[in-house]
């Protein structure tokens, strides 16, 4: 039983990693899907507790149409980059995994993390894709998103990090 769970989680991780690595590429220049925002309870605070997971939004920044770094320039495929820093604390007894984050715009379009952007932010906290969240340990992460210029009223979807999530919340990013 334990071996089956490990194999299932490994397959899920591989599929997710493959999809995440393409998140900024030209083939995925469209959004990941749609969500009806009218029924969502949007939180206007920077702290959210979902089950055993405490999320704290530390920084939200609109970067612009390109990121200039040590490795050159990365241009946004969809229009512009946004950058988010946040901390996570797991007060539970078991390790949780952070697989991905989603930003949702005013039209309900869903965007995943742009992994290509991580190398351009020197000194930034660690990338948040495929990270273990160990009990009783707070960690800081960063995430970048490539979104269209017409995307406004952005919200960040956060969960209790269970698979599948039992609790979700939507934090207003102020952009």
Average pLDDT score over residue span 140-167 = 94
Whole-model pTM: value is 0.79
What percent of the chain has a predicted confidence (pLDDT) above 90? Answer: 62
Q: Is the predicted pLDDT of residue 12 greater than 90, yes or no?
A: no
Beta-strand relationship, 42-43 and 109-112: unpaired
> Per-residue pLDDT for 154 more than 90?
yes
Query: Is the N-terminal amide bond of 164 cis, ω within 30° of 0?
Result: yes
Whole-Å CA distances, 42 to 48, 124, 143, 149: 11, 27, 20, 22
Higher pLDDT, 143 or 126: 143
Closest Cα to residue 44, out of 145, 171, 148, 136?
171
Q: What letter would DSSP give residue 170?
A: E
| Third-level CATH fold of 2-172 | Immunoglobulin-like (2.60.40)
Contact residues for 44 (Cβ-Cβ < 8 A; gap 6+): 172
**What percentage of the chain reaches a pLDDT higher than 70?**
77
Quickly state the pLDDT bin for 31 (edges 50, 70, 90): low
* Residue 71 binned pLDDT confidence (cut-offs 50, 70, 90): confident
Q: Could you read off the pLDDT of 74-130 as tens digits, one per residue?
A: 999 999 999 999 999 999 999 999 888 999 999 999 999 988 887 777 666 666 667
Beta-carbon count within 10 A of 129 CB: 21
Apex CA 127: angle with CA 166 and CA 111, to 5°?
A: 60
Name the more confident of 136 and 24.
136
Per-residue pLDDT, 123: 65
Q: Are 175 and 60 in contact (CB under 8 A)?
A: yes
The domain ranges of the chain are: 2-172
Check residue 125 and give its pLDDT.
Answer: 61
């Amino acid at each position: 039983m334990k071996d089956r769970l490990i194999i299932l989680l490994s397959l899920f991780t591989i599929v997710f990693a493959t999809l995440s690595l393409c998140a900024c590429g030209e083939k995925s220049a469209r959004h990941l899907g749609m969500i009806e925002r009218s029924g969502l309870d949007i939180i206007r605070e920077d702290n959210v507790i979902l089950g055993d997971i405490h999320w704290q939004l530390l920084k939200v920044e609109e970067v612009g149409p390109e990121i200039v770094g040590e490795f050159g320039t990365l241009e946004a495929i969809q229009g512009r980059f946004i950058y988010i820093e946040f901390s996570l604390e797991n007060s539970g007894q078991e390790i949780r995994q952070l697989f991905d984050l989603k930003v949702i715009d005013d039209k309900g379009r869903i965007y995943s993390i742009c992994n290509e952007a991580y190398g351009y932010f020197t000194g930034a906290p660690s990338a948040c894709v495929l990270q273990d969240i160990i009990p009783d340990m707070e960690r800081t992460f960063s995430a970048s998103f490539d979104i269209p210029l017409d995307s406004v009223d952005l919200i960040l979807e956060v969960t209790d990090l269970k698979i599948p999530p039992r609790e979700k919340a939507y934090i207003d990013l102020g952009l």
